[in-house]
Amino acid sequence: MAFECDHCGYRSSDVQPGGNLCTKCSQSPKIHVVVGNGTCSLTATSLLRSCRISLGQIAQLGVEILCKVSTESDLQRSVLLSDSAVIKIPSVELEIPSSKRGRLTTVEGIINEVMDNLSETNEELRKADPEGATRVAAFLAKLAMLKSCTEEFDVEIRDPSGNSAIEGLEPGKQDPKIRRKEFKRSAVDNAALGLQQPPDGMIIACRSPRRV
């Protein structure tokens, strides 16, 4: 899955600040979201419009999204994540902190990314901490079970910027497996987004001021 620029042909899975500007040619052509081999493609503009979000700016409210996953189709749902989105899968006690970059992926892609990172780390861990490596291997088995869809599980996203979304399988209709709730940001959320000074005693990573 990737963004593809009509102007220069550049493709990337990164979601860059500034909306639909191509990061390679700096032009503003139409950008497509290409899924798989391109046979099921949709425009980034239509996806953003359907979710009422704008990647270049911060929404007035944050958003919490819950998606129930029980089928292969659910695993292939497109997931748009801003750089402030935190992801949780409660059934396996997994929490993925916010990233330094926005990205376009799928539910399965989120799981695969965690599995790939843990698998790489576990190769080194086997030498230094065999017991720890065994625990990691057990957790990897739990993640693999999620992808088999033998049991329904929840994917939760909390995004103070309001710029994340999970694809509905029936455009224009309320998806019964997705619950989206907006919330008012706290002072801590606003500070983390660079919208205000941090509260006394709060230490956050440096972040450039953002537009609202």
| pLDDT for position 149 | 94
Residues of the chain scoring pLDDT < 70: 1-56, 199-212
How far the first Cα of the chain sits from its last, in Å, is 28
pLDDT in tens, 108-160: 999 999 999 888 887 778 888 888 889 889 999 999 999 999 999 999 999 99
Element (H, E) at 144: helix 130-148
Nearby residues of 120 by Cβ (< 8 Å), 6 or more positions away: none
Q: How many CB atoms lie within 10 A of CB 186?
A: 12
Residue written as tokens 């493709």? 11
* pTM of structure: 0.70
| pLDDT for position 147 | 96
Mean of pLDDT over the chain:
76
81 closest CA partner among 51, 37, 61: 51
Which segments within 6-132 are labelled E, that is strand?
11-12, 14-15, 31-34, 42-43, 62-69, 78-81, 86-89, 94-96, 102-106
User: Could you say which DSSP state residue 90 is in?
Assistant: G
